[in-house]
């Protein structure tokens, strides 16, 4: 996703671009290969991500129009929690950025969303224009369009050292997600940490529309570290833990969900979506986050190499921002801007998450 949108931005500015992926675009090992990803502007007080998400959504919709394929569903996004500071920051930032939103107290929350059970202390902010992107489909559609527009596509494994030495290219951009620390262990080990993330799709009772996107928005309970999506395209109600799992190798990791994780998920359903407590598991996926210490992306020059760049560190929230990241990277490559300290490699803080 980071690579494809960077290729798109450079192509739009007249560059001749070659895209290389060892397993093909949005493959089943890639973080971008999942079924669905939330796109929302609600980010606490981090206005930059609110802006990027809004600008990016327009480009995702432009892509949808071009390929005439459904890539986005406007489900709305519901941010739940008892942390009133985060919710207040989110509501204020959304209003400042002109993004419609609504505060909901617990009684109203219960009335509107009886499928969810978050207790009396829970409050919420609803962002009605947010929604869900069909991730794999969207990236593959983008890559198809890039091919039509003259971007060269190749499936092969890139050896980092050889690619850096190759002087045929004016710029080389590594947007290799969770593989970045494997390609540049001296520089990126510990800076980007791939973690195992397990995702579950449960079947709603027959004929029960409460779990469809008409009645249930995408929801995120940040202080509990869980999130869920309504039943989209009849694939089941998605629910997952946002907290970081064990450190993994994205290339060789076993992608069958663990019995323990399923048991934990059943406990969560019992308390938070009791109507699905005994729902059958329809599908599951194991994917990886590629976490930076604080959750901010890593977009910078590779130290000591003027024409080599890194774009990664999506940290469990990067997908939606692809179009904005692509433009940012193109600006860096063309020397139109210097790396923002927030996204720079130098001076990254110790591992303490600050973006949710």
Ligand X SMILES: Cc1cc2nc3c(=O)[nH]c(=O)nc-3n(C[C@H](O)[C@H](O)[C@H](O)COP(=O)(O)OP(=O)(O)OC[C@H]3O[C@@H](n4cnc5c(N)ncnc54)[C@H](O)[C@@H]3O)c2cc1C
CB of 4 to ligand X, least distance (A): 7
Residues 6+ apart with CB under 8 A from 85: none
Residues 6+ apart with CB under 8 A from 41: 49, 50, 51, 53, 54, 94, 97, 99, 127, 130
Residues 6+ apart with CB under 8 A from 203: 236, 237, 279, 280, 281, 282
CB nearer ligand X, residue 217 or residue 316: 316
CB nearer ligand X, residue 75 or residue 197: 197
Cβ-closest position to ligand X? 314
For 6, the token pair is 């960077």
CB of 291 to ligand X, least distance (A): 9
CB nearer ligand X, residue 86 or residue 200: 200
CB nearer ligand X, residue 106 or residue 171: 171
CB of 14 to ligand X, least distance (A): 23
CB nearer ligand X, residue 118 or residue 319: 319
Interface residues with ligand X (CB under 6 A) are: 1-3, 20-23, 27, 30-32, 34, 37-38, 157-158, 175-179, 183, 197, 199, 240, 287-289, 312, 314, 316-320
The count of other CB atoms within 10 Å of the CB of residue 146 is: 20
CB nearer ligand X, residue 87 or residue 257: 257
Strand order in the sheet with 308-312: 172-174, 308-312, 298-301
CB of 284 to ligand X, least distance (A): 11
For 113, the token pair is 């969303």
CB of 253 to ligand X, least distance (A): 11
CB of 207 to ligand X, least distance (A): 28
Taking every pair of Cα atoms in the chain, the longest distance, rounded to a whole number of angstroms, is 63
- Phi/psi of residue 206, nearest 5 degrees: -55, 130
243 contacts 356 by C-beta, under 8 angstroms: no
């Amino acid at each position: 996703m980071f690579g494809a949108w960077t290729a798109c931005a450079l192509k739009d500015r007249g560059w001749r671009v070659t895209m290389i992926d060892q397993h093909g675009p949005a493959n089943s090992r890639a973080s971008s290969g999942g079924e669905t990803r939330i796109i929302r502007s609600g980010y606490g007080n981090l206005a930059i991500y609110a802006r990027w998400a809004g600008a990016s959504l327009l480009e995702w919709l432009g892509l949808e129009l071009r390929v005439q394929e459904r890539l986005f569903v406007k489900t709305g996004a519901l941010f739940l929690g008892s942390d009133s500071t985060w919710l207040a920051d989110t509501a204020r930032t959304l209003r400042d950025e002109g993004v419609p939103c609504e505060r909901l107290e617990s009684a109203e929350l219960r009335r509107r969303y009886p499928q969810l059970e978050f207790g009396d202390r829970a409050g919420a902010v609803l962002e009605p224009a947010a929604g869900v992107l069909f991730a794999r489909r969207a990236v593959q559609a983008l890559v198809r369009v890039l091919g039509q527009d003259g971007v060269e596509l190749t499936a092969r494994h890139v050896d980092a050292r050889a690619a850096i030495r190759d002087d045929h290219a004016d710029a080389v951009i590594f947007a290799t997600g969770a593989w970045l620390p494997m390609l540049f262990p001296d520089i990126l080990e510990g800076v980007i940490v791939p973690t195992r993330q397990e995702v579950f799709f449960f079947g709603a009772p027959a004929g029960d529309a409460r779990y469809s996107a008409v009645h249930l928005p995408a929801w995120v309970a940040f202080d509990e570290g869980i999130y869920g999506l309504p039943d989209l395209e009849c694939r089941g109600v998605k629910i997952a833990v946002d907290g970081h799992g064990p450190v993994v190798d994205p290339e060789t990791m076993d992608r069958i969900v663990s019995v323990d994780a399923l048991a934990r998920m059943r406990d969560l359903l019992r308390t938070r979506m009791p109507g699905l407590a005994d729902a059958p598991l329809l599908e599951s996926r194991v994917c990886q986050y590629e976490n930076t210490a604080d959750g901010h992306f890593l977009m910078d020059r590779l130290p000591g190499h003027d024409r080599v760049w890194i774009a990664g560190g999506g940290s469990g929230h990067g997908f939606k921002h692809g179009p904005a990241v692509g433009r940012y990277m193109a600006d860096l490559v063309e020397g139109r801007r210097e790396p923002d300290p927030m996204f720079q490699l130098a001076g990254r803080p110790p591992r303490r998450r600050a973006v949710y």
